[in-house]
Amino acid sequence: MSGSVKSYAAVDLGASSGRVMVGRVGPDSLELTEAHRFVNRPVRLPEGLRWDILSLYGGVLDGLRAAGQVDSVGIDSWAVDYGLLDGDGRLLGNPVHYRDSRTEGVAEKVWATVPAPELYAATGLQYAPFNTLYQLVADRLTGAERLLLIPDLLTYWLTGEQGTELTNASTTQLIDPRTRGWSYDIAQRLGIDLELFAPLRQPGDPAGLLRPEVLEETGLAGPVPVTAVGSHDTASAVAAVPASGERFAYICTGTWSLAGLELDAPVLTEESRAANFTNELGLDGTVRYLRNIMGLWLLQECVRAWGDPDLGELLREAAEAPALRSVVDASDPVFLPPGRMPERIADACRASGQPVPVSPGEITRCILDSLALAHRRAVEDAQRLADHPVDVVHVVGGGTRNALLCQLTADACGLPVVAGPTEAAALGNVLVQARAHGLVGDLAGGRELLTRTQPLTRYEPRGDPGRWSEAQARLVRI
- Annotated active-site positions, please? 233
Confirm if 251 and 396 have CB atoms less than 8 A apart.
yes
Residue from 224, 201, 229 nearest 211 by CA: 224
Per DSSP, the three-state class of 127 is coil
The Cα 100–Cα 129 span in angstroms is 10
The Cα 228–Cα 201 span in angstroms is 7
Q: At how many degrees (to 10) do helices 360-386 and 311-320 cross?
A: 80
Instruction: Give the count of beta carbons closer than 10 Å to the beta carbon of residue 265.
Output: 13
The Cα 115–Cα 379 span in angstroms is 28
The Cα 192–Cα 175 span in angstroms is 13
The Cα 423–Cα 326 span in angstroms is 31
Confirm if 134 and 192 have CB atoms less than 8 A apart.
no
Q: What phi-psi label fits residue 279: left (phi over 0), alpha (psi between -120 and 50 degrees) or beta?
A: beta
CA dihedral 374, 295, 101, 144 (to 10 degrees): -110
Confirm if 286 and 262 have CB atoms less than 8 A apart.
yes
204 Cβ neighbours under 8 A, 6+ residues apart: 227, 228, 229, 432, 435, 436
Confirm if 284 and 446 have CB atoms less than 8 A apart.
no
Our CA angle for 450, 452, 453, nearest 5°, is: 65
3-state SS, one letter per residue, for 19-75 = EEEEEEEECCEEEEEEEEEEECCCEEECCEEECCHHHHHHHHHHHHHHHCCCCEEEE
- What one-character-per-residue DSSP string does 214-254 give? HHHHHTPPSP-EEE----BHHHHHHHT----SS-EEEEEES
433 Cβ neighbours under 8 A, 6+ residues apart: 8, 10, 23, 71, 72, 73, 74, 227, 229
Per DSSP, the three-state class of 404 is helix
Confirm if 289 and 267 have CB atoms less than 8 A apart.
yes
